Amino acid sequence: MLNLTTPHNQYSNVLLVVPRYSTYGATGHYVMPMGTLYVSAYLKAAQVTHVHTLNLNHHDGAEETVLQNYIHTHSVGMVALGGISGEYQDVARIAQTVKHIDPSLTVVIGGGIVTADPETTMRAIAQADYGIVGEGEITMVELIMALRQGVPLHTVQGVVFWDKGQFVATPARTEIVDLDTLPLPDYAGFDYDIYLEENPDMSDEGKRYSQVSVIGGRSCKYNCTFCFHPSGTTYRQRSLDSIFSEIDYLVSHYNISYIALREELFATDNERVAEFCQRVESYDFDWSIQLRIDNINPALVQLLKGTRCRYLFVGVESADDSVLRSMHKGVTRSQIEEALEMLRQAGLNSRSGVIFGDAAETVQSAANSLSWFRNNHSRYRMFADMIIAFPGSALYKKACKKGVIPDPVQFLKDGCPIVNLSEMSREDFMELVKTIEKINYRSYNVKEYKL
């Protein structure tokens, strides 16, 4: 532990902020950024600085006033926050506000927004002094220690910054192998009780749920073209003991009625699923998991049948085999139909979606998927949507290379709009967008950039 009275005391009080989200509309609902909670917990355990936390969603008054009062009251010298690319406006606004309050304050940003395209993000959020690439727990601790001790930042892995006008990216940090070594997320620090009360999940029957997310693993071993994995490229799972220790904490501290297990490959091992089902049976809450189509088999279905598994979120994405191949999904339409029907006949509630506009999408492939969707969306409770070339994904890199996204900074500032990467003409693509808009009763953010 560092002596917090030594020089460079600007970093003796660090504030982690959850922005007041505008991204999710006017309902007031938002998704808790679990990465921030993990970093906060790790920082507190490391004891290299005094850690303060502020969830702006639960404070009335002007955002700048609340921030200014908190910063001055606690002598804060560094403000840190994170987010995903779609939350650019909120992350950038906080960075700008902090520098407006006091230009000498250090601003650190992290999360998927930085990891996906570090230099672009640091150009788009000029007020950020440092960016953290990849998992932020260890990097945040080492960054603060280096700044406090005056150690060159080139020695800290996973950091980006500007040095005399030049963009600097230090070597990538090795991914955390043993996720069980991480402390539980800092729920209390970010008003999780208020969050649960103000962000209920509603069932199809209109029942109000207190929904929490438990992250059981990081990354994914597959490489779908529309996906990006900010936590690294190697898939890692927490042990069930670790997961249930978090569940026990949540149940003992909050009124929990539903737990969503956020792990893309939860069901790759039927023995693990069997043990989970056996252990979770004594708890009084519903739960959900995420599944790949090719992980659904009769043995798995039998394990899940009759449990309190409320939803199974399944990746479908397209009903056209040529598009599925282009997406690198590794499954076929016939596999999708067989798996969804297997779940339906077992009385298990699947949730899945079809996304349109892949690089291989044509008028015919879109028609194929749209016809299949219309025939099956009620049967399998599916949604339809347009694909987005999110930064970091293979689609995004292709869009930048082709010039469909000629200015990545502007693309990020525009909120990652929908662009036409498909084989369709502009007219046919816009007709497809209008069709999906009618299905969803909403308008899409669509941009056509000039080269």
At 336, the amino acid letter reads: I
Contacts of 110 (CB under 8 A, 6+ apart): 35, 39, 80, 81, 82, 131, 132, 133, 136, 139, 140
> Are both 9-169 and 200-440 of the same fold?
no
| Residue-level pLDDT, tens digit, the chain, 451 residues | 344 444 457 899 999 999 999 866 555 688 899 999 999 999 999 999 999 999 999 999 999 999 999 999 999 999 999 999 999 999 999 999 999 999 999 999 999 999 999 999 999 999 999 999 999 999 999 999 999 999 999 999 999 999 999 999 999 999 999 999 999 999 999 999 999 988 877 666 666 667 799 999 999 888 899 999 888 888 999 999 999 999 999 999 999 999 999 988 888 889 999 999 999 999 999 999 999 999 999 999 999 999 999 999 999 999 999 999 999 999 999 999 999 999 999 999 999 999 999 999 999 999 999 999 999 999 999 999 999 999 999 999 999 999 999 999 999 999 999 999 999 999 999 999 999 999 999 999 999 997 6
Q: Show the tokens assigned to 124.
A: 């788009």
Predicted pLDDT at 4:
44
200-440 maps to CATH 3.30.565.10 = no
pLDDT at 6: 45
The two beta strands, 106-110 and 130-132, are parallel
If one counts every other C-beta atom within 10 angstroms of the C-beta of residue 253, the result is 12
Q: Which amino acid would we find at residue 269?
A: D
Query: What's the pLDDT score for residue 24?
Result: 61
Q: Quick count: other Cβ atoms within 10 Å of Cβ 1?
A: 7
* Ranges assigned E (strand) in 284-328: 286-291, 309-317
Beta sheet of 258-262, edge-to-edge order: 211-215, 258-262, 286-291, 309-317, 350-356, 382-386
231 with 175: CB under 8 angstroms? yes
* Residue whose tokens read 């910054």: 161
CB burial readout 178-196, b (16+ within 10 A) else e: ebeebeebbbebbbbeebb
| The pLDDT of residue 25 | 54
One-letter amino acid at 302 equals Q
CATH superfamily assigned to domain 9-169 = Cobalamin-binding domain (3.40.50.280)
What are the start-end ranges of the E strands in 99-195?
106-110, 130-132, 159-163, 166-169
- Residue type (1 letter), 225: T
Looking at residue 8, its pLDDT comes to 53
pLDDT at residue 7 in the model: 45
413 phi and psi angles, rounded to 5 deg = -65, -30
Taking the C-alpha atoms of residue 373 and residue 12, their distance in angstroms, rounded to an integer, is 55
Residue with tokens 């026990």: 248
Strand partners, 313: 290, 351
Query: CB count, 10 Å around CB of 21?
Result: 18
**Token pair of 338 as six digits:** 């067989």
- What is the distance between the alpha carbons of residues 55 and 20, in angstroms, rounded to a whole number? 7
Return the structure tokens found at 359. Answer: 């690089």
Token code pair at residue 249: 């904490």
Domain segments of the chain: what residues? 9-169, 200-440
**Cα distance between residue 184 and residue 246, in whole Å:** 7
Residue 167 bridge partners (DSSP):
162
Give first-to-last CA distance, the chain, whole Å. 53
